[in-house]
Amino acid sequence: MEDTKIRVVIADCHEIVREGIAMRISSECNAEVVGQAADGYNTIKLCRALNPDVLLMDLGLERPSGTDTFAKLRSLMPEMKIIVLSSEATTSEAFAILGMGAVGFMPKQAKGADFVNCLRTVSKGYTCVPSEYMQGFVDLRRNVSRTGNIFGLSPREVEVLEACKSGAKTKEIASKLNISVRTVETHRNSIYKKTATRSVDEFVAVSGQI
């Protein structure tokens, strides 16, 4: 129904951010902010207790991390719409977040009007992505078509990444793939550059997938 308010939970470690978003969407949208949380644990607890229509959550949440919180809630409450907020997500990270089931992505630096428009958009069943990310998404789609993964990793880089994720050491990877230690290091550095990460653990935390 038109007069039924959208029930929203906002999760961010900064109270001023939560209050600012809450004030803007409550005054300009047909929305009711039913809860706020500052960490992952309370975000999960609130969402399970309140069953909101939409969760606006910062990817930088801790205890547990934003990515772990997101994955947990997607499993527990697949019908709840999640808009992810981030202050420094790369285009690849934003693409991966949407691929994991988010219905919207917003930089935390966005204007209040952008948050209002995003909430209105997802409440109507659409996905919301800032226009400045769209060209990057087009390029990533080309990567998927060309290489089978959003980061444009070569088949050999995927093999090295999978070996690293399994915990194998550089010498073990070199022996397994029949390449030199230096070649493994070259592939690993290329992976970090393409995925805008600094370690395999950081890559897994950000994307959880290739």
Q: Which domains does the chain have, with CATH numbers?
A: 6-135 (3.40.50.2300), 153-207 (1.10.10.10)
Residue 1 has what pLDDT? 39
What one-character-per-residue DSSP string does 19-45 give? HHHHHHHHHHSSEEEEEEESSHHHHHH
Residue 143 has what pLDDT? 63
pLDDT tens per residue, the chain (210 residues)?
356 899 999 999 999 999 999 999 999 989 999 999 999 999 999 999 999 999 999 988 999 988 889 989 999 999 999 999 988 767 777 777 887 889 998 888 888 899 999 999 999 899 888 877 767 766 666 665 566 666 778 889 889 988 988 889 999 999 999 999 999 999 999 888 877 677 877 776 655 544
Quote the radius of gyration of the chain (alpha carbons, Å): 19
Residue 207 has what pLDDT? 57
